[in-house]
Amino acid sequence: MAGITNTAFRRLCREFGNGLFVSEMVTSRALVERTEESMRLIGHHESEKFRSVQLYGVDPTTISRAIEMLVQEDRADHIDLNFGCPVAKVTRKGGGAALPWKSELFEAIVQSAVKAAGTIPVTVKMRKGIDQDHLTFLDAGKAARDAGVTAVALHGRTAEDFYSGRADWDAIAELRASLPDVQVLGNGDIWSAQDAVSMMDKTGVDGIVVGRGCLGRPWLFQDLERAIAGYLAGDKNPKVEEVMPSLGEVADAFYRHAELLTEFFEEEGRACRDIRKHVAWYFKGYPVGGEFRADLARVESLQQASDLLGSLERDAPYPGEEAEGPRGRLGSLKKCSLPEGWLDSRELSDTHRSQLEFAELSVSGG
Please tell me whether residue 80 adopts helix, strand or coil conformation.
strand
End-to-end Cα spacing for the chain: 10
Angstrom CA distances, 342 to 94, 125, 198, 350, stand at 8, 21, 37, 12
In this structure, how many other beta carbons lie within 10 angstroms of the beta carbon of residue 350?
Answer: 6
Contact 171, 156 (CB under 8 A): yes
**Residue 154 near residue 186, CB atoms below 8 Å:** yes
Contact 311, 143 (CB under 8 A): no
Count of other CB atoms within 10 angstroms of residue 123: 23
| 85 among known catalytic residues | yes
Catalytic residue of the set 13, 85, 214, 336 = 85
Q: What is d(CA 234, CA 237) in angstroms, rounded to the nearest whole number?
A: 9
Cα(273)–Cα(337) distance, integer angstroms = 31
Question: Using CA atoms, how far apart are residues 84 and 270, in angstroms rounded to an integer?
Answer: 29
- DSSP three-state, residue 155: strand
3-state secondary structure of 130: strand
Cβ atoms 12, 216 nearer than 8 A: no
Residues labelled as active-site residues: 85
